[in-house]
Amino acid sequence: MDSDGLRAFAVFARHLNLTAAAAELHIAQPSLHAKIRKLGRTLGVELYEREGRGLRLTPAGLNLARFAAENTRRMNDFVAEQQGRPTSVTIAAGQGAFRWVIGPGLRRIVGSHRALQVRTQNREGSLRDVRSGRADVGVFAGDPPPGGFAWSEIARYPQVLLVPAGHRLAGRKRVAMSDLTAQPLVLPPAERPHRRRLDRALLDAGVDVTVAAEVDGWDLMTHFVALGLGAAVVNGCVLPPEGVAAVPVRDLPQVPYWAAWRPERDDLSADIVEHLVTG
Largest CA-CA distance found in the chain, in angstroms, rounded: 70
Domain boundaries, given as residue ranges, for the chain: 1-84, 86-140+263-279, 159-253
Q: Which helix (H) or strand (E) holds 200?
A: helix 193-204
- Residue 76's pLDDT is what? 75
CATH number of 86-140+263-279: 3.40.190.10
Tens-of-pLDDT digits for all 279 residues of the chain? 778 888 899 889 888 999 999 999 999 999 999 999 999 999 999 999 998 888 999 999 988 988 887 777 777 777 767 777 767 889 999 999 999 999 999 999 988 878 899 999 999 999 988 887 788 899 999 999 998 899 999 999 999 999 999 999 999 999 999 999 989 999 999 988 899 999 999 999 999 889 999 999 999 999 999 999 999 999 999 999 999 999 999 999 999 999 999 887 776 667 788 899 865
Could you tell me if 120 and 101 are in contact, meaning their C-beta atoms sit under 8 angstroms apart? no
- Residue 268's pLDDT is what? 66
CATH number of 1-84: 1.10.10.10
Q: Render 85-105 in DSSP notation, one character per residue.
A: PPEEEEEEE-HHIIIIISHHH
Domain 159-253 in CATH 3.30.559.10? The answer is: no
Q: Which residues of 147-167 are buried (b: 16+ CB within 10 A; e: fewer)?
A: eebbbbebbebbbbbbbbeeb
Could you tell me if 93 and 78 are in contact, meaning their C-beta atoms sit under 8 angstroms apart? no
Same fold flag, 86-140+263-279 and 159-253? yes
- Alpha-carbon distance 241 to 167, whole Å? 15
